[in-house]
């Protein structure tokens, strides 16, 4: 092993217990408000009862928008418009953290809505280029560009033979939306992440994203697909993707996550009588996640990786593997990413140590973003110990500040 690799390995240990760094952007008041918010989210029954009430209250224009805006929206979102997010983005960058700016409107399914969403994503890319000083990436959800039923039909067929003429025209519009976004990302040199969705539409998405990577990743990764490791057989899928990338001369952009649709997937598999596509245990998911981290780093000449994880052990694993292979913390082919408002102990400590880190920052009108926020709250209550860890870290920082007379 050469001296350079030894140097990297000696530095490839990181600790996430420095809460002074983790919460350096939060005032004492913000720390306490965050703690109370996590207390609420930590109670599944309150989320279950409160979510329908908030939806109805906003629908009937009851005066609750201000409360939502000042609490859960403020904690997890950047603003209602791209420009209103700039102060948050600048604050993150002051701590060496980049931003994945996400137009988080969900549940719309008309052609008008799809075109409007496309325009928002294009606006993000244009703003990212114009404000290159802010380090902004783009992201979009495929179901924001196409009807779920159409994607499901494409998922269940090979080619387009069984589509009606109307559906063929509709699908061409979907392809054109994807292409317009990826072309703009390529022309402006702004990475774009394409989210993963349910298994019954994911193969159709993978096919379309691969087409975009073949077209726009010839020089370097611009388009990134998302791989959910709570699914089975993802290691084999990654191996196949790498083989395809090598054979077709493009770079593979991968955003690696554990996944967000576990209960829905299992319920559907049981309902329709097929084998669940979800790992049998969290341990199996964790093992495969870390295996693919290593696989990506081993093939860093062809794969660029964004590790979307709130798991300290996986972050530590990636740091170690980078050290094992002599990859610098600042190598732009490897990124860590967490949701804005979550796991700041991971994000800020990694950034302080010189690693590439981004925060996933939702934006959009309060009413429009609410379905996303409710889904996130419901997901977080189902992650064992997540809220408890967040609350514990906030308490420790509050106590630390009190001990030195700063709170």
Question: Which residue ranges form the domains of the chain, and what is each CATH number?
Answer: 81-373 (3.20.20.220)
Q: pLDDT tens digit string along 103-130?
A: 998 777 899 999 999 999 999 999 999 9
Q: What is the pTM of this model?
A: 0.91
Strands (E) in 141-277, as ranges, are 192-194, 223-228, 252-257
What is residue 265's predicted lDDT score, i.e. its pLDDT?
92
Give bridge partners of residue 338 from the DSSP assignment. Answer: 359
Neighbours of 270 (CB within 10 A): 10
Would you put residue 184 in left (φ > 0), alpha (ψ -120 to 50) or beta? alpha
Helix 366-382 and helix 28-41: axis angle, to 10°?
Answer: 70
Q: pLDDT tens digit string along 319-359?
A: 999 999 999 999 999 999 999 999 999 999 999 999 999 99
Phi, psi of 243 (to 5 degrees): -60, -45
pLDDT at 50 over 90: no
Q: What is the mean pLDDT of the chain?
A: 89
CB hemisphere CA count around 146 (13 angstroms) = 27
Structure tokens at 210: 């691969």
pLDDT at 61 over 80: no
Distance from the first to the final alpha carbon of the chain: 49
Contacts of 273 (CB under 8 A, 6+ apart): none
Return d(Cα 350, Cα 329) in angstroms, integer: 9
Could you give the percent of the chain with pLDDT greater than 90? Answer: 74
C-beta pairs of 131-136 under 8 Å, 24+ apart in sequence: 131/86, 133/93, 134/86, 134/89, 134/90, 134/93, 134/99, 135/89, 135/93, 135/98, 135/99, 136/89, 136/98, 136/99, 136/100, 136/101, 136/190
């Amino acid at each position: 092993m050469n001296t350079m690799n030894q140097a990297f390995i000696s530095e490839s240990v990181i600790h996430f217990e420095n809460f002074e760094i983790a919460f350096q952007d939060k005032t004492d008041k913000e720390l306490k408000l965050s703690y109370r918010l996590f207390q609420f989210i930590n109670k599944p029954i309150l989320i279950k009862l409160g979510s329908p009430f908030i939806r109805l209250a906003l629908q009937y224009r009851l005066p609750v928008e201000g409360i939502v805006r000042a609490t859960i929206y403020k904690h997890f979102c950047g603003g209602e418009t791209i420009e209103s997010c700039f102060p948050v983005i600048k604050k993150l960058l002051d701590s060496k953290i980049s931003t994945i700016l996400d137009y988080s409107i969900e549940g719309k399914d008309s052609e008008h809505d799809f075109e409007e969403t496309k325009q928002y994503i294009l606006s993000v890319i244009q703003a990212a280029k114009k404000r290159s000083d802010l380090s902004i990436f783009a992201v979009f959800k495929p179901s924001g560009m196409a009807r779920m039923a159409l994607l499901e039909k494409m998922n269940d067929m090979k080619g387009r033979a069984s589509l009606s003429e109307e559906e063929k025209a509709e699908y061409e519009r979907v392809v054109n939306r994807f292409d317009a976004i990826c072309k703009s990302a390529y022309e402006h040199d702004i990475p774009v992440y394409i989210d993963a969705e349910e298994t019954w539409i994911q193969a159709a998405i993978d096919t379309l994203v691969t087409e975009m990577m073949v077209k726009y990743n010839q020089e370097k990764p611009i388009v990134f697909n998302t791989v959910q490791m709570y699914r089975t057989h993802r290691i084999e899928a990654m191996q196949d993707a790498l083989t395809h990338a090598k054979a077709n001369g493009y770079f593979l952009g991968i955003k690696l996550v554990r996944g967000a649709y576990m209960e829905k997937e299992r319920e559907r598999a049981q309902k329709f009588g097929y084998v669940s596509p979800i790992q049998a245990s969290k341990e199996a998911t964790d093992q495969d996640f870390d295996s693919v981290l290593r696989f990506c780093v081993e093939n860093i000449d062809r794969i660029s990786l964004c590790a979307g994880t709130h798991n300290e052990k996986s972050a530590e694993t990636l740091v170690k593997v980078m050290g094992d292979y002599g990859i610098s913390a600042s190598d732009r082919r490897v990124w860590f990413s967490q949701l804005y408002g979550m796991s700041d102990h991971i994000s800020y400590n990694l950034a302080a140590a010189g690693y590439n880190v981004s925060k996933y920052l939702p934006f959009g009108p309060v009413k429009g973003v609410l379905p996303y926020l409710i889904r996130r709250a419901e997901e977080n209550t189902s992650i064992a110990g997540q809220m408890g860890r967040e609350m514990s870290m906030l308490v420790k920082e509050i106590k630390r500040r009190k001990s030195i007379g700063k709170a």
